[in-house]
Structures are given as C-alpha cells and as structure tokens.
Amino acid sequence: MALAAGRIRHTVVFTPRHAEGSPEEADFLAAAAQLAAIPGVEAFELLRETSPKNTYRYGISMEFVGAAEYAAYNEHPDHVRFVQERWLVEVADFLEIDYEAR
C-alpha cells in the first residue's frame, strides 16, 4: 500500500552485538517488538534483513500519521528508556532511513 501524503515510514536496519540466534539476541528482539505498543506507532514490522549487499541483520519499520506523532514517539518514556538501556548497549551497527511520499 503506497504511503499516503504526510505519513512517515520510519525504518532502521541494525545488527545486535549478540550472536545470531542466541537467547540474548532473542531477548533483545522481543524488547524491540514492544516498541509497537507506543502510541502513534502504526504498521510495525520487525524483519530479517537478507540482502548480501550489506551487513545488517534485522530491520524495524513503522509508520506515523505525521511529524507530531513521530516526535511524540521519539520522546515517549518507553522509547527513551529502550534506546538508553537496550539499543545503545546491545546494537553494534545501525542506520535510520525515513520515507515520505513524493
């Protein structure tokens, strides 16, 4: 489904520091999946990254109705806590990519 005008698709590709398939990685991914519960988050997906042309292992994709909802997500205590306590500690490499309709 094409991205409607004004909507924002926020994505991030990443590789956990944990060994692939390890219980520690599974625990981190389970914590990341909880981001879907933060208000404003729509179309949440936690996916495998499978291109041989980069080294990222997973991706998260979510959509927001607009910039205000995206900002509220970024500032939400559950997001801030996840970034501080899990993401910055357990992610080795990542890249954020956001899309909007042309």
Using CB under 8 A as the criterion, which residues of the chain lie in contact with a second copy when the complex forms?
Answer: 1-3, 8-10, 13, 29, 43, 45-51, 53-54, 56, 58-59, 61, 95-102
Position 35, amino acid:
L
Least distance to a second copy, CB of residue 89, Å: 19
What's the Cα-to-Cα distance from 87 to each of 15, 91, 100, rounded to whole Å?
10, 5, 25
Longest pairwise C-alpha distance within the chain: 41
Using the minimum distance from each CB to a second copy, give the nearer residue, 49 or 78. Answer: 49
Least distance to a second copy, CB of residue 40, Å: 17
Tokens 């599974």 belong to 26
Least distance to a second copy, CB of residue 60, Å: 10
Alpha-carbon dihedral 101, 99, 67, 79, rounded to 10 degrees: 150
Using the minimum distance from each CB to a second copy, give the nearer residue, 58 or 87. Answer: 58
Using the minimum distance from each CB to a second copy, give the nearer residue, 44 or 82. Answer: 44
